[in-house]
Structure 1
Amino acid sequence: MNQVAQSPDVARLAAVARLLGGTATFRKMPRSPLEAHEILLNGLPSKALLHFVDNLVFLRWDDSFARAIGMSHRTYQRHTAENIRQLSPEQSGRAWKLAEILAKATAVFGSKDEAEQWLERPAIGLDQRKPIDLLATPAGVELVEELLARLEYGVYA
Structure 2
Amino acid sequence: MLTYTRDRGKKQTIWDIIDIPQRGRQLQEAIARGLPYSIFLRIAHYAEMTNAELVGLLGISVSTLRRRANAGKLSVGESEKIIRLIQMMNAGLTLFDGSKEKALSWLKSPSRGLNGIQPITMISTFAGTNEVLALTGRIEHGVYC
With normalisation by structure 2, the TM-score equals 0.77
Q: Deviations over 1:17-71 (max 9, x none)?
A: 3342x2xxxxxx53742221111111111111111112223x44556x4353243
In the other structure, the counterpart of 1:156 is: 144
Letter of the structure 2 residue corresponding to residue 36 of structure 1: L
In the other structure, the counterpart of 1:26 is: none
Task: Specify the SS of the correspondent of 2:124.
Answer: coil
Larger displacement relative to structure 2 (124-133 or 69-78)? 69-78
Q: 1:48 to 1:62 in 2, by over 3 A?
A: closer
In the TM superposition, residue 16 of structure 1 has moved relative to its aligned partner by 4.3
Q: 1:118 to 1:61 in 2, by over 3 A?
A: farther
In the other structure, the counterpart of 2:80 is: 93
**Which among 38, 50, 57 is matched to residue 47 of structure 1?**
38
Q: What RMSD in Å do the two structures reach over aligned CA positions?
A: 2.5
**Which among 83, 86, 89 is matched to residue 102 of structure 1?**
89
Q: 1:145 to 1:73 in 2, by over 3 A?
A: farther
**Which among 15, 18, 29 is matched to residue 13 of structure 2?**
15
Contact 1:69–1:98 (8 Å) recurs in 2: no
Q: How many aligned positions are there?
A: 135
- Structure with more strand by fraction: 2
Paired with 1:16 and 1:41, the residues of 2 have a C-alpha distance of 21
In the TM superposition, residue 125 of structure 1 has moved relative to its aligned partner by 0.6
5+ residue gaps in structure 2? 4-11
Q: 1:133 to 1:56 in 2, by over 3 A?
A: closer
Q: Deviations over 1:78-123 (max 9, x none)?
A: 444x3x2111111111111101111111111121111111111111
**Alignment pair present for 1:138 and 2:120:** no
In the TM superposition, residue 151 of structure 1 has moved relative to its aligned partner by 1.4
In the other structure, the counterpart of 1:25 is: none
Letter of the structure 1 residue corresponding to residue 13 of structure 2: A
Contact 1:67–1:135 (8 Å) recurs in 2: no
Paired with 2:90 and 2:131, the residues of 1 have a C-alpha distance of 16
Paired with 2:27 and 2:78, the residues of 1 have a C-alpha distance of 14
Identity %: 26
**Alignment pair present for 1:120 and 2:108:** yes
5+ residue gaps in structure 1? 1-7, 23-28
In the other structure, the counterpart of 1:4 is: none
Letter of the structure 1 residue corresponding to residue 131 of structure 2: L
